[in-house]
Amino acid sequence: MSSSSPSRPERPPLTDRNALQRQRRRAMTQGHVDVLHRIAAAELKDRLSEINRDFHAPAVVTGFPGFWSTEFPQACVVPDDPVLDLTPASHDLVIHAMALHWADDPVGQIVQSARALHEDGLFIAVCFGGQTLHEARAAMAQAEAEVTGGLSPRILPMGEIRDMGALLARAGLALPVADLVSQCASYRDLPHLAHDLRAMGEGNAMATRLRQPTRREIFARAGAIYAQAHPDRDDPSRIQASFDLVFLTGWAPSETQQKPLRPGSARKSLADALNEIRNKS
């Protein structure tokens, strides 16, 4: 009898990579709706401009190389494949751009990006998360439950900012920071939103998605629910959709970096500090 323990079954993949790549190619050839990519790129440039450092060997990991190579022309741009085409310790900046939400192994993506950094190099990611498309998710779920009595995977599950921020520490990066920028977009109706999602390359590419056409009654009911529950505040004849851009920032460890204080190392207690403020007032 073997003494080895049985291997743990592999977790089924979240993403159908072939379907995702087809959607991205279709979006790029038929007119990519890149407004959220432009917002993400502008925000990244603002954040980088606030860092007192010049980056001479940047890399960008993305599923949309045409757009991001234009925004960061000096960068080495590589696809967001499960195994990243990055050379270890060869970059002072790695940007993971609008792709991490589709990764079956987001920690692995961050670990590989971190390994590609020089000591004290910067990793920064931007991806969808939080409450992105929560309106459409709720409307589609309610409509499908009413019409068929069941639910199907239709909108990618989005990571919460606290959980996504924890990935940075798990990947061994120092000084981790996670925050988000929320955007609201206005659409004529649910089909208009669905059209733009496909043009963004963000259609349903989940591995467990339905492989047959959705009944028209479901879309019709979902559209009615959506319009009633989430009208555009400026034009109630339209609907609004939420997009949260989550930004993750961390540094490759270095002895020269600022270190957080050890617990209990403060020289003055909070109570003493408050008492001094009261005595001065």
- Per domain, the residue ranges of the chain are 17-257
Percentage of the chain surpassing pLDDT 90? Answer: 83
3-state helix, strand, coil in the chain (%, to 5): 40, 20, 40
Of 164, 103, 176, the residue nearest 129 (C-alpha): 164
Going by pLDDT thresholds of 50, 70 and 90, the confidence category of residue 261 is very low
Report, as an integer, the average pLDDT of 86-112: 97
pTM across the whole model: 0.87
- Give tens-digit pLDDT for 144-197: 999 999 999 999 999 999 999 999 999 999 999 999 999 999 999 999 999 999
pLDDT over 60 (residue 273):
no
Q: Residue 12's pLDDT is what? A: 81
Q: Give which of 241, 240, 224 is closest to 232, Cα–Cα.
A: 240
Here the tokens at position 93 are 């900046």
Fold annotation for 17-257: Rossmann fold (3.40.50)
Average pLDDT, the chain: 90
* Residues 180 and 158: beta-carbon distance below 8 Å: no
Q: Is pLDDT of 241 > 70?
A: yes
Residue 275's pLDDT band, with cuts at 50, 70 and 90, is: low
